[in-house]
Amino acid sequence: MNKQEFPISRHTLRRLRHTIWLFLTSAVGGRARLLLVALFGLMLCINGMNVINSFISRYFMSAIEKQDMAGFVHYAWLFLAVFAGSTLVAVLFRFTEEHLGLLWRRYLTQRVTGIYIDRRLYLRTAGEDVISNPDQRITEDIKQLTTVTLSFVLMIANGTMTAVSFSGVLWSLSPKLLLVAVVYALAGSKFAIWLGRPLVLLSYRQADFEADFRSELIRTREEGAKIIEADREVEVKQQLVARIDALVANIRHIIAVNRNLNFFTSGYNHMIQLRPVVLVAPVFILGRVEFGVIAQSAMAFSALLGAFSLIITQFQAISSYASVMARLSEFVEHAEQYADKPKSPDADTPG
């Protein structure tokens, strides 16, 4: 891969879709689909409880403002009931997500490792820059791809459900507040992408720099006797120092980009807490809504904006994931080129 290119392309995304499809239609695909359906069902429960909780919060705060003890006690108990239900569903959701992620990791690791060994690709890739560090791609990259892909898919699905659920709540409270949330999230996402875009390529490079340094250390240990015999200690030390310098220089670039991105995201997140109160409080002061509407609007606004602002809040994680997806896509595609080919002695001879 040309290191100046952006590592994510339509081809990479097609490769990811193909990998997911193979998993869902494999021998363990039935079990995987069942777990996926369970996850979406639990996700619906969580969003439903969040909407219910917003109304309980509204009436609870209004009861306090009216000094209504009976209402206060009633909605306090409802709070506890919804909290208990939400906790149970959230734990089951996390357990199911981890189980599905492990199932996918096992399947993909076994498939890629099988092709890698059966077709002797460790010989084919020995001198190819395009498939560098295959050991890391099979171990760390597959681990991250399976767990993080599942996490992002569920995050996007949950964000969509949250946006639909709380858009209705926010519209019923204040159409202006809904419009502000949409415009604020779109503008913020565009600016976050502009600030953080270099992170994807930098994260891609960092994985290679780390793996190259580790490989150099392993090679030094394995060839220790030869190095001493040839009196190459100074040369080897210079090579290791060069690897360290390249690694550190790239990390410095990542830190600089993260600094700029964090300046923006910190201010962006603080404003989320203030905007709904500023817009709804004057309406309450004029006596047009009850006090609890302020609490409900703040909760609905934060939930809706959180759903719309996934790019902003998760950009650093997305950039790391994008680099992993690109790296593993290259290796999986290379491996699967040989998956269905007949094996022959000539084909297995490197060079």
Helices in 119-141 by DSSP H: which ranges? 121-124, 134-136
Strand segments (E) across 117-221: none
Q: What is the dihedral of CA 220, 226, 228, 232, to 10 degrees?
A: -70
Q: Which residue has the tokens 């092709």?
A: 115
Could you report the per-residue pLDDT of 208-250, keeping only the tens digit for each?
Answer: 788 788 888 888 888 888 888 888 888 888 888 998 998 899 9
CA distance 325 to 296: 39
Non-local CB neighbours of 333 within 8 Å, separated by 6+ positions: 15
Write the single-letter amino acid at 134: P
What pLDDT, on a 0 to 100 scale, did the predictor assign at position 43? 92
Write the single-letter amino acid at 192: A
Could you report the per-residue pLDDT of 249-294, keeping only the tens digit for each?
Answer: 999 998 998 888 888 877 777 776 666 777 777 777 777 777 777 7
How much is the pTM?
Answer: 0.64
How many other β-carbons are positioned within 10 Å of the β-carbon of residue 21?
11
What pLDDT, on a 0 to 100 scale, did the predictor assign at position 142? 78
Average pLDDT over all residues of the chain = 78
Residue 343 has pLDDT above 60, yes or no: no
CA distance 291 to 303: 19
Q: Which residue has the tokens 């670039």?
A: 253
Q: Which residue has the tokens 């990259």?
A: 141
Asked whether the beta carbons of 142 and 112 are under 8 A apart, the reply is: yes
Asked whether the beta carbons of 272 and 300 are under 8 A apart, the reply is: no
- As given in the structure block, the two tokens for residue 198 are 């270099």
Non-local CB neighbours of 26 within 8 Å, separated by 6+ positions: 32, 107
Average pLDDT over residues 24-34: 92
What pLDDT, on a 0 to 100 scale, did the predictor assign at position 133? 58
- As given in the structure block, the two tokens for residue 314 are 């998760």
Asked whether the beta carbons of 115 and 336 are under 8 A apart, the reply is: yes
What pLDDT, on a 0 to 100 scale, did the predictor assign at position 346? 45
Residue 347 has pLDDT above 70, yes or no: no
Non-local CB neighbours of 313 within 8 Å, separated by 6+ positions: 265, 269, 306
Backbone angles phi, psi at 54, to 5 degrees: -65, -40
Helix %, strand %, coil % of the chain (to 5): 85, 0, 15
